[in-house]
């Protein structure tokens, strides 16, 4: 009887619940509004924030940025998917490059019907990459266009590298396209700014960050967070990354405006850019609109006219430019199309005179140039005789 009573007492005792370190850490993330996403005994954190389209960020509303996705006329900024498949994406990593470098924070801003959603995925432990990439890839879909800042050269290659370690358990990488705003900033702002880092470009447009954590400190914060399992430690990195993604939305709108608006001072660069992209018709239209084109603009316009079979329109531009390269083009046309050897010799002599005047610092280039010109001159002289 005594033993039976003892068993009954033990049965009625409340069971002890074991609280693991993961439970404690996950509870802290939930207090911050984070979602705990699990996969195969691993977990990661998803943070989400919603912004109305009429909210202004760095001079433009999110709604204006969304409209630019559909209305941009410049080939560099055009996207061929619905706006909800365009991700303004950035990552934070434990280093710069290499297979030993891990991504511990991926995030993107993405437009929905009536709002912008900002989503971030946090890797709580380096061993949980499977859950991390499983949920990130499932959320973004099978085809996306990334708007990034150096993401084409850095962020996306890093994602592809890390994906190789987990690809047997997660879905394949999506079909992607890129609008890398670093390239646009370099084209438009490099002559003006010493640095075209995202922070420098923001400051140039009047939006310098004051309380932001320097990006190079992010790995240190992450390693300390992994050690102590305290989300407070990584919070400055999350805020820095959040600001980067939202800045991409605003910067996309601003750069679209710079290359498309008539009143901006980037008409010549706009023409060069269209030329480089192979859009000859649009580039020629832009060159025609320039009120005070530089010699570089005139030369590129002339070469484009030549390439599109409009050499008669290019001839006066080559004469106006009056450089070695321009005189060579005129000499070639006089020789091969006009069959005027004397005129070809005159243009070649003018090119030689200019080449001989070049500075000593360019001596080697000038010598190579003059050898080619003298070879042309000798050939023309033989033709004339």
pLDDT band at 57 (very low <50, low <70, confident <90, very high): very high
Look at residue 294 and tell me whether its pLDDT is greater than 50.
Answer: yes
Give the Å distances, CA to CA, from 353 to 52, 63, 317, 361, 370: 65, 58, 20, 17, 9
pLDDT at 10: 56
Look at residue 129 and tell me whether its pLDDT is greater than 80.
Answer: yes
- How many Å separate Cα 238 from the centre of its chain? 20
Helix axis angle, 156-163 to 129-140, nearest 10°:
120
**Beta-strand relationship, 175-180 and 143-148:** parallel
Spans of all domains in the chain: 21-260, 265-306, 322-385
pTM given for the model: 0.80
Residue 232 is encoded by which pair of tokens? 């407070």
Class of the CATH domain delimited by 21-260: alpha beta
Find the mean pLDDT for residues 125-147: 97
Give me the chain's average pLDDT, please.
89
pLDDT band at 361 (very low <50, low <70, confident <90, very high): very low
Find the mean pLDDT for residues 212-216: 88
Find the mean pLDDT for residues 70-75: 88
Look at residue 382 and tell me whether its pLDDT is greater than 80.
Answer: yes
**Beta-strand relationship, 143-148 and 35-39:** unpaired
pLDDT at 15: 64
Q: What percent of the chain has pLDDT over 70?
A: 91
What are the strands, taking DSSP E only, across the chain?
Answer: 35-39, 42-52, 56-57, 60-61, 86-93, 103-111, 115-122, 143-148, 175-180
Find the mean pLDDT for residues 59-88: 94
pLDDT at 17: 72
Find the mean pLDDT for residues 72-101: 88
Find the mean pLDDT for residues 51-55: 97
Q: What are phi and psi of 36, to 5 degrees?
A: -95, 115
């Amino acid at each position: 009887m005594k033993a039976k009573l003892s068993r009954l007492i033990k049965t009625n005792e409340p069971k002890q619940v074991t609280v693991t370190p993961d439970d404690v850490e996950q509870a802290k993330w939930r207090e911050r509004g984070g979602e705990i996403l699990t996969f195969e005994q691993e977990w990661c954190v998803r943070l989400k924030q919603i912004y109305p389209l009429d909210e202004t960020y760095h001079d433009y509303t999110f709604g204006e940025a969304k409209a630019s996705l559909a209305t941009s006329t410049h080939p560099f900024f055009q996207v061929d998917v619905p706006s909800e498949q365009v991700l303004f994406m950035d990552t934070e990593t434990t280093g710069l490059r290499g297979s030993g470098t891990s991504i511990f924070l991926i995030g993107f801003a993405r437009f929905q019907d009536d709002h912008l959603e900002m989503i971030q995925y946090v890797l709580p432990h380096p061993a949980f990459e499977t859950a991390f990439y499983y949920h990130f890839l499932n959320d973004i879909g099978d085809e996306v266009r990334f708007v990034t800042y150096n993401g084409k050269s850095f962020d996306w290659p890093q994602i592809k590298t890390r994906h190789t370690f987990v690809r047997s358990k997660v879905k394949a990488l999506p079909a992607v396209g890129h609008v890398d705003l670093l390239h646009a900033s370099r084209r438009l702002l490099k002559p003006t700014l010493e640095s075209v880092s995202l922070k420098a470009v923001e400051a140039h447009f009047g939006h310098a960050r004051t309380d932001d954590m320097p990006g190079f400190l992010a790995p240190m914060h992450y390693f300390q967070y992994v050690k102590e399992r305290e989300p407070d430690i990584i919070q400055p990195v999350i805020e820095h990354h959040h600001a980067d993604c939202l800045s991409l939305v605003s910067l996309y709108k601003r750069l679209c405006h710079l290359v498309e608006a008539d009143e901006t001072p980037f008409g010549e660069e706009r023409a060069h850019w269209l030329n480089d992209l192979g859009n000859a018709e649009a580039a020629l239209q832009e060159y025609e609109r320039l009120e005070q084109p530089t010699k570089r603009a005139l030369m590129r316009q002339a070469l484009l006219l030549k390439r599109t079979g409009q050499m008669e329109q290019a001839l006066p531009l080559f004469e106006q430019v009056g450089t070695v390269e321009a005189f060579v083009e005129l000499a070639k046309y006089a020789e091969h199309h006009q069959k005027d050897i004397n005129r070809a010799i005159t243009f070649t002599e003018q090119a030689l005179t200019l080449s001989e005047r070049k500075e000593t610092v360019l001596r080697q280039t000038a010598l190579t140039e003059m050898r080619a010109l003298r070879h042309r001159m000798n050939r023309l002289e033989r033709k004339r005789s």
